[in-house]
Amino acid sequence: MIPMQPVAHVEVKAKVDAKKTEQWFYTDVVKEHFFNPRNLFKSQQEVDSYKPDGVGQVGSPACGDMMKMWIKIKEDKIIECKWQTFGCGSAIASTSMLSVMVTEKEGMKIEDALKIKPQDIVKRLVDLPARKFHCSVLGDKALRAAVNDHFAKTNQHNRITIEGARIIDKVLKITDKDIEEAVLEGAQTFEDVQKKTKVGVKDKTCIPEVEQLIRFYKEKYFG
C-alpha cells in the first residue's frame, strides 16, 4: 500500500483560479480535505462498532453520488459526525469540511447546524468551481437526514423537518425539488431548466412559477 502524499506534495503549477477556468482544479483547502478527509469511516469494522444517535443517507451511486452520515449528540449538540461517500472530489472535500464545522469547538447546536448553507461550506473551502457546487449539497442533506433520524429515535417528532416536494408541472409531475436540482447543476435560465427537466413543455401554466423558483434558488445558492 502506497501512502497518499500530503498536500505539500502538490505542485504550484496545478493552482489555477477555479472560477476563471471552470475546470476541476480545486483550491488548496479543497485538495487538503480531499486527500486527507476528516471524520471519515475507513472500514466496515469501524461502521459496525459505532453507536450513533442518528444515521442519514442520501443519493445513490446511479446518480453519481451517495452520502451516508452518522452523528452523536450530547445536550443537543453534535459532538461527532462520521461519514462515508461514493462521490467526487467536491463531495468528499465539502462533506469533510461540514463534519469539521459541526463538531469543532465542542460541537455545534443542532439548530445552528441545520442553518448551515452550502455557501458557508464553500466559503470555508475558499472556493469551489461553480459547476461543482451541487456536489457540496449532498453532505448537508445527509446531515439533515441524520438529525431527523435522531429526532425520531428520541421522540422529538415535532422537530423533524421534512423537505416535501411540491408538484409544479401538473402534466409531467415535476416538483420544486427537480427545479432546485437543475439550478444546482448550473441551469441559469428557464430554457436551461426546461432542457434538463422538460418542465413546462406540456403544462404551460406553470411557467411563471418556475421562473420565480429559478430566481429563488439562484438567490439561495449563488446569491
Chosen residue from 19, 21, 24, 177 binding another protein by CB under 8 A = 24
Nearest distance from residue 35's CB to another protein, in Å?
7
Active site residue 135: yes
In 3-state terms, the chain is what percent helix, strand and coil (to 5)?
A: 50, 15, 30
Give dist(CA 143, CA 113) in Å, integer: 9
Does 131 bind another protein (CB under 8 A)? Our answer is: yes
Residues 66, 59: contact at Cβ < 8 Å?
yes
Which of 28, 29, 35, 159 binds another protein (CB under 8 A)? It is: 35
Residue 98 or 108: which CB sits closer to another protein? 98
Strand order in the sheet with 108-109: 54-60, 65-74, 77-86, 108-109
C-beta atoms surrounding 221 within 10 Å: 18
**Angle, vertex CA 19, rays to CA 213 and CA 85, nearest 5:** 70
Does the footprint of another protein cover residue 197 (CB under 8 A)?
no
Nearest alpha-carbon partner for 81 in 59, 94, 96? 96
Q: Does 48 bind another protein (CB under 8 A)?
A: no
- By CB under 8 A, the residues from 62 to 121 that bind another protein are 62-68, 84-92
Only segment of 128-136, 154-162, 168-176, 208-216 that touches another protein (CB under 8 A)? 128-136
Distances (CA, A) of 205 to 169, 180, 191, 213: 8, 19, 15, 14
40: contact with another protein by CB under 8 A: yes
206 annotated active-site: no
The single residue among 8, 20, 43, 157 that binds another protein, judged by CB under 8 A, is: 43
Q: Mask of contacts with another protein, 143-182, x by CB under 8 A?
A: ----------------------------------------
- Residue 71 belongs to what H/E stretch? strand 65-74
Cβ 124 to another protein, closest distance in Å?
20
Considering only residues 200 to 219 of the shown chain, the ones binding another protein according to CB under 8 A are none
What's the number of CA atoms in the CB half-sphere (13 Å) around residue 76? 7
Cβ nearer to another protein, comparing 57 with 175: 57
CA separation for the pair 112, 170 (Å, rounded): 36
Residues of the shown chain interacting with another protein in the complex, contacts defined by CB under 8 A: 1-2, 4-5, 9-11, 24, 34-35, 37, 40-43, 57, 61-68, 84-92, 131-132, 134-135, 185-186
